[in-house]
Amino acid sequence: MAQHQVNYSQDGGLPIALTSIDKVVNWGRSNSLWAMTYGLACCGIEMMASGASRFDFDRFGTIFRASPRQSDLMIVAGTLTKKHAEFIKRLYDQMAEPRWVISMGSCANTGGMFNTYATVQGVDRIIPVDLYLPGCAPRPETLQYAVMMLQKKIRAEKAGKAQRPKRLL
Amino acid sequence: MRAYKPKDDVQKKSYYTDRYWIAPQVPTSKVEDDAVFAADLAAIKAKFDVSDAYIQVEQMVVYIKPEDNYAVLELLRDELGYTQLSEMSAIDWIAKQGQFEIFYQMLSMSKRKRLRIKCFIDEKQAIESVSPLFRSADWSEREMYDMFGTIVNNHPYMKRILMPDDWEGHPLRKTYPLQGDEFAAWYEVDRIYGKEARAIIGPEIRDSAEVDRLDTERFSRLGFEVPMGAEPKAADAEPTVETLQEEGGVFLVEKFDEADGHIIEDRKR
């Protein structure tokens, strides 16, 4: 029978690591960001490439879910039309808190080149956005970097506190 | 001789237009030049009124009366071998002549020919649906109604196809503004949050280069650092050319001292 050896002269004398609740909760949250499948246009292709084997989102703990109920992260990848605006709001409301939004690409950020009657001029008119990712379309590496930046942001948040009130109603 | 066009509004135009530019025209030829088309046209003319017909880019164009559209297309499909309606839509000529031009692009696989049936309808005039003849006309006519507001009679499901059902206006009309009217600008805000939210969300930013210096949430301040979310102060306002240099304004715009200047008497000096 193997004996459990504890070296009391190392590791502060105990076989445990001390941390705070915030850190351990945010460690879990930031390393299992389940993203909702939300490809709206050509940015969606880059988002799919990011999830596939070459760029491999799985190593960040980011796996795509087909349901808002199971998702923490909404990557709005592509042009949001005015007809579709109410559905993005509904899907965002269906996501359980805490939830985050990455606005991916110029179209989602500002309407981009679609300065027309039918395009929402920035997805932040409908839902609050945590991270704006520029590019048309952003490369998968850029989306990976955006997710890493979002992880950094999550790790800096308070775990217990409800999310900061957003700009939208 | 070139037709005279009034040029009084040249100053109002935001872009340069050449006064002597003439729009290039695709050359047309007579229908008799092509034996197949000549026979087709004779078959149409035997039963219906044809106001004009010519061949352009190897395709025959035939102008008919709008009431005859169903019967002409039926004749083309059943007797002349034009079995496919590859495209149809409308063209907005309301500013020019108060009418829409409806076109039906036909294809005959057996004859290896394409022809186009055209007709004019007034703005409020309805046209008969050809979707019983061609299934492809079903969605095309819905799109035509959605984009131009042309009413189609006896369509099985006359409803908007691209824009939302509660949309106002028909976007492909020449009078429809590209960036949308008042209704379009607030559509998603009104629909999701209600009209009360307009003041909070604010109007759409259509200027792609817009920078709001006092907005510390979304823009960084150039020159000196300000914490995010800080309230703007009056001193943060950007100096303008109206502000003098002595009063903290822009460089080289100084207060004029009369003692330093002198008046030139001889204007031709």
Q: Which residue of A has its CA nearest to B183?
A: A117
Three-class SS state of B185: helix
Alpha-carbon gap, residue B118 to A83, rounded angstroms:
32
> What percent of chain B has a predicted confidence (pLDDT) above 90?
64
Query: Is position B166 within any domain?
Result: no
A118 contact B CB<8A: yes
Contacts of B163 in chain A (CB under 8 A): 83, 118
For the segment B5-48, what is each residue's pLDDT rounded down to a tens digit? Answer: 766 666 677 777 677 878 888 999 999 999 999 999 999 999 99
Size of interface A-B (CB pairs under 8 A): 54
What's the N-to-C CA distance of chain B in angstroms?
52
For the segment A103-131, what is each residue's pLDDT rounded down to a tens digit? Answer: 999 999 999 899 999 999 999 999 999 99
Whether A169 sits inside 8 A of B200 (CB atoms) is: yes
Q: How many domains does chain B have?
A: 2
Instruction: Looking at the structure, tell me whether residues B143 and B32 fall in a common domain.
Output: yes
pLDDT of residue B55: 96
Four-point Cα dihedral A36, A51, A61, A164, nearest 10: -40
- Which one of A121, A130, A136 makes the best mutation probe of the B interface by having the most chain B beta carbons within 10 Å? A121
Instruction: Output the six-digit token pair for B47.
Output: 């039963």
Instruction: Looking at the structure, tell me whether residues B32 and B148 fall in a common domain.
Output: yes
pLDDT of residue B21: 79
Domain encompassing residue B146: 25-153
Q: Which residue has the higher pLDDT, B112 or A166?
A: B112
Instruction: Looking at the structure, tell me whether residues B111 and B189 fall in a common domain.
Output: no
Q: Which residues lie below 8 Å from residue A36, measured CB to CB, with a gap of 6+?
A: A64, A65, A66, A67, A68, A71, A73, A74, A75, A91, A95
What is the mean pLDDT of the segment spanning B204-210? 84
Q: How far is CA A126 from CA A85, A137, A168, B100, in A?
A: 7, 21, 7, 37
**Closest approach of A136 to chain B, Cα-based (Å):** 15
Instruction: Looking at the structure, tell me whether residues B149 and B32 fall in a common domain.
Output: yes
Full-model pTM: 0.77
**Closest approach of A117 to chain B, Cα-based (Å):** 4
For the segment A64-112, what is each residue's pLDDT rounded down to a tens digit? Answer: 999 999 999 999 999 999 999 999 999 999 998 889 999 999 999 999 8
Instruction: Output the six-digit token pair for B113.
Output: 């020919």
- Which one of B188, B207, B211, B228 makes the best mutation probe of the A interface by having the most chain A beta carbons within 10 Å? B188
Three-class SS state of B118: strand
pLDDT of residue A168: 59
**Closest approach of B204 to chain A, Cα-based (Å):** 6
pLDDT of residue A15: 65
For the segment B129-143, what is each residue's pLDDT rounded down to a tens digit? Answer: 999 999 999 999 999
For the segment B60-118, what is each residue's pLDDT rounded down to a tens digit? Answer: 999 999 999 999 999 999 999 999 999 999 999 999 899 999 999 999 999 999 999 99
**CATH number, domain containing residue B86:** 3.30.460.80
Beta-strand pair B28-29/B50-56? antiparallel
Q: How far is CA A58 from the centre of its chain?
A: 13
**B3 pLDDT exceeds 90?**
no
